[in-house]
Amino acid sequence: MTRISVFGIGYVGVVSAACLARDGHEVIAVDVDADRVDALNQGRPPIVEKGLDELLAEVVASGKLRATTDAQQAVMDTDASFVCVGTPSAPDGSVGLTYVISVCEDIGRALRAKDAHHSVIMRSTIVPGTMEEVCIPTLEKASDKRAGTGFGVGYFPEFLRESTAIEDYADPGLVVFGSLDPETEAVLTEVNADLPCEMHRVDIRTAEMVKYTSNAWRAAKISFANEIGNIAKANKLDGQKVMGILQSDHKVAMSPAFLRPGFAFGGSCLPKDVRALRSVGRQCRVATPILDAILEANSEQIVRAEDMVRSASKKAVGLVGVSFKSGTDDLRESPLADLAARLIESGQDVRIYDPYVSTAFENDPGAEGRGNAVVPGLAGRMERDLDALIDRSEVIVVGNRYPEVQDRIAERGSDRRIVDLTRIDPGRLSGAEYQGICW
């Protein structure tokens, strides 16, 4: 087993650290946030993610996982470092590398004093060429060593979905990585050896591109399905039925997961990665009309939902879900948060039911996932009681799917308008009191 330091205790970092420790590796999680480090050392996760509480408590208690703010010591005490920090969009839409560069500088300084071989493996999402043009030069300058000989280098993108991240780690659909040296390839081979899928060993630039291609493809499928759904509805057809038939073609349609007409995409990956890939195209003077259209179509889907809600309600709106997807407290680029903010700005009185976000607020009002401040006074708009939300609302907007919602709305919300962005009842089509966004 390998001794691994994981830099960044965010969504990817904390799940990766816990799963690596579960698999028998000795793991040190590193972060500049002392409160987050203290919480992890007590077995408390910094995020809300299914199964993480129990897993984290188990691996911390076993001694397989600990956390620190000391980057130097973490590098000295491990054989490889996984970099899992965020890469939020820069103002021009390109990939933001502030955190990546900072961590590479920290690791590089630590490597300067280390004689034993050490591999630096990037997991953060970065556009093709970033390892060669930014990360490696930063590491070499800070360490005064040469990549590939003085230290190892690899790129190992993650494909974890929030709310199913632990299951995805154990059963991924795709494993791809690139490395400069045999030692780093050996580390990555060992880490992935028991996973039930093929390992794609490629050059580093290809591994970087695969990650962006995957995210851009998922984003494209969502927007394509939404456009078909909108056209189908305008012609008095059920968009989900149309796309469901298309999905039956498993030979060509690859995966049906995102071919489901509904609301806009959001989260920490798809929006920023489509912007970043579009930025790469501009830098290469390659036109990107499809990527442009994906972002435009996604924004239009939010506008469409806003128009539906405003036409259905004079004032009181009950929003079910505000995170970017069910099962997580993450509001980064959440289209539901954007919708809530638009409605509030137009004068609507918006209250929100989202059990995961409510739990996160109760655990830590400053926790990661709600840092975008998109929804004015979000904490004060949260409603723990779904019945109370229904009773005070003129229109109920169903944005995320939660098990209790369908029956509750059927029992108590029959005299209220419903705007459904997720389809809680597969058999129901738009009518006088119910509007589905694409059906």
pLDDT class of 259 with cuts at 50, 70, 90: confident
What is the enclosing helix (H) or strand (E) of 225? Answer: helix 204-234
Helices (H), 156-203: 165-170, 182-192
Please count the residues of the chain: 439
The pLDDT tens digits for 63-73 are 999 999 999 99
pLDDT class of 247 with cuts at 50, 70, 90: confident
Binding region: 31, 36, 87, 125, 159-162, 211, 258-262, 266, 272, 325, 332
Whether residue 95 is predicted with pLDDT greater than 90 in this model: the reply is yes
Q: Which of 59-68, 400-409, 412-421 has the highest mean pLDDT?
A: 59-68
Closest Cα partner for 119 from 190, 172, 59? 190
What is the distance between the alpha carbons of residues 379 and 362, in angstroms, rounded to a whole number?
Answer: 10
**Which residue among the candidates 19, 269, 284, 438 is catalytic per the annotation?**
269
What is the distance between the alpha carbons of residues 307 and 268, in angstroms, rounded to a whole number?
Answer: 26
User: Is 269 annotated in the active site?
Assistant: yes
Least reliable range by pLDDT among 2-16, 88-102, 402-416: 402-416
Whether residue 254 is predicted with pLDDT greater than 70 in this model: the reply is no
Residue type, 233: K
Taking residues 37-57, report their average pLDDT: 96
Per 3-state DSSP, the chain is made up of helix, strand and coil in percentages (nearest 5) of 45, 15, 40
Beta bridge partners of 122: 83, 155
pLDDT class of 251 with cuts at 50, 70, 90: confident
Residue 362: its pLDDT value, please? 86
Binding region for NAD(+): 31, 36, 87, 125, 162, 272, 332
**Which residues, at least 6 apart from 34, have a Cβ–Cβ distance to it below 8 Å?**
69
The pLDDT tens digits for 211-234 are 999 999 899 989 989 999 999 999
Least reliable range by pLDDT among 62-71, 121-130, 272-281: 272-281
pTM of the model: 0.86
The residue among 280 and 5 whose pLDDT is bigger is: 5
The pLDDT tens digits for 365-378 are 665 455 558 999 99
Residue 383: its pLDDT value, please? 96
The pLDDT tens digits for 138-152 are 999 999 999 999 999
Do residues 266 and 333 make contact, with C-beta atoms less than 8 angstroms apart?
yes
Domains of the chain, with CATH numbers?
Answer: 3-202 (3.40.50.720), 298-436 (3.40.50.720)
Residue type, 277: L
Binding region for substrate: 159-162, 211, 258-262, 266, 325
